Structures are given as C-alpha cells and as structure tokens.
Amino acid sequence: MGVLELVEETPQAKSIVLEPRDWPGHRAGQHVDVRLTAPDGYQAQRSYSIASAPEDDHLVLTVQRLADGEVSPYLLDVLGPGDELELRGPIGGYFVWEESLGGPLLLIAGGSGIAPFRSVLRHGVAAHSSIPVRLVYSARSLAEVIYREELMRLADHDGVDVRFTLTREWPEDWTGHRGRIDRELLQDVSWPPSEQPRIYICGPSAFVEAAANTLVGSGHDPSRIRTERFGPTGT
C-alpha cells in the first residue's frame, strides 16, 4: 500500500496516510498487521489500529515511538511518501463499533490507544449518529495528546463529550483532571450501570486492566466492556 504522507501528531507520534488500493473497507475499531522485511530476509510484524473512519478517502495508521522498538523507529524515521507498506487486514470484530450496536458509548484511551477511537468518533459523526459518546483520554502531558485539535473539533458535535486527564505535566491554568484515570473520574464521566453503556478501553495493558476492573467493581456488566491492550509502556 502506497504512503502518501506522514503527519506529525506529537514529538513521538506520526500518522501514516496511505492510498487504500484494493482495500476491502473496514469497520471502526479494526486493526491491521504491518510487516517489514529487511534485505537479509528478516521480518518483523506489528499490529496497529486503524485511525481513519470507514468513510474516509485514505487509510491512516498512527504510530508512537517505542523504546527499543523494531518497527516504530523505521516507520517514524525512515518511511516516506512514495514508499510501499505491506499490510494484512482489516482484522478483528471484537473491538468494533457501529451505530447499530447502540450505546450510550464510553471510550477510555491511554496514550496511542486513542487511535481506534478516532475512527469511532469520525464514523459516528459521518453517520450523523444520535448516540451520545464520551471519551476520556489519559496522556502524560498536553503535548503528548495525539489528535488534540481534531478531538476538540469533534467535541463541538452534539452528543460528543471529550475529556483529557494529564498524569505528569499540565499547564498552570489546567482545569481538567490531573493524575491517572481513577474511580472518581470514571464515576463522573460514565453513565450509571443501569443504563448499560457500551464501554471500550484501549491502551497499555496495566492501564486497561485497572480501568476495566474499576468499572466492573462499580457495577458495570463485564459483557458490555471491550478491551484492547498493547505493550508494557504506561501513561
């Protein structure tokens, strides 16, 4: 698949915009496998959530640099417009969302776990969905909030509520939540269990586990919670 451009999202993350030749289409929340092959035949493969909506003209993957990573340094530092990228997908049906699945919808993201939720939010807006959506996004600092300007624009749409929580640094005039996502914040943003919200959580493994356990401990039905996790890194 051909690379059209790379967009810097934060100092450590870029979005790769691809020309979807022979692309069968995808559902919001799916992912792809990216395979790199070295001249000596060595191969490395990693999974990346699709950050573009099914309605978008181009396919977008957002990659965050991982310390000692095999794939992310190449994608961020070497890959350029005109290059080809080997993809397999779309993959996955467990973590997808579309309007027919209903809501209300609570999205909880840590770090680059925001990528599939960009697809979900864009899809909901494109479909003129009336289902209320709340996004809670945890990042180390405001500078590390991926898609920050776009998320704020999406929050201007009726029924879309976007909130950030910063865990390490924040501006002096910051009025949002400070610290990790905790029970108090989740009780503030979530619908009560009686309303049976659909809940999606994506981020580092420990982050996802903590958020899911907190919600289940607050009375939410585990069958209404979908999780996708990656790597050992935290926010």
CATH number where 217 lies? 3.40.50.80
Is residue 68 one of the residues assigned to a domain? yes
Tally of structural domains, the chain: 2
Among 113, 132, 127, residue whose Cα is nearest residue 181: 113
Q: Is 124 found in the same domain as 208? A: yes
pLDDT at res. 234: 36
Q: Is 128 found in the same domain as 79? A: no
Domain hosting residue 68, numbered range? 2-91
Residue written as tokens 């794939």?
71
Q: Could you say which DSSP state residue 215 is in?
A: H
Is residue 178 one of the residues assigned to a domain? yes
Residue written as tokens 């919600």?
215
Q: Is 49 found in the same domain as 144? A: no
Q: Is 154 found in the same domain as 138? A: yes
How many CB atoms lie under 10 A from the CB of residue 142?
15
Q: Is 104 found in the same domain as 56? A: no
Is residue 235 one of the residues assigned to a domain? no
The rounded Cα 3 to chain-centroid distance in angstroms is 21
pLDDT at res. 38: 83
Q: Does residue 148 sit in helix, strand or coil?
A: helix
Could you state, in chain order, the average pLDDT of each consecutive group of 10 residues for the chain (235 residues)? 95 95 94 91 92 96 88 93 94 94 95 96 94 95 94 93 92 85 88 95 94 95 94 43
Residue written as tokens 């999780």?
227
Q: Is 77 found in the same domain as 48? A: yes
Among 186, 152, 202, 144, residue whose Cα is nearest residue 168: 144
The 3-class secondary structure across 63-125, one letter per residue, is EECCCCCCCHHHHHHCCCCCCECEEEEEECCCCCCCHHHCCCEEEEEEHHHHHHHHHHHHHHH
Please say which residue of 41, 58, 91 terminates a domain: 91
Question: Residue 73: which residues within 8 A CB-CB, separation 6 or more?
Answer: 65
Q: Is 109 found in the same domain as 213? A: yes
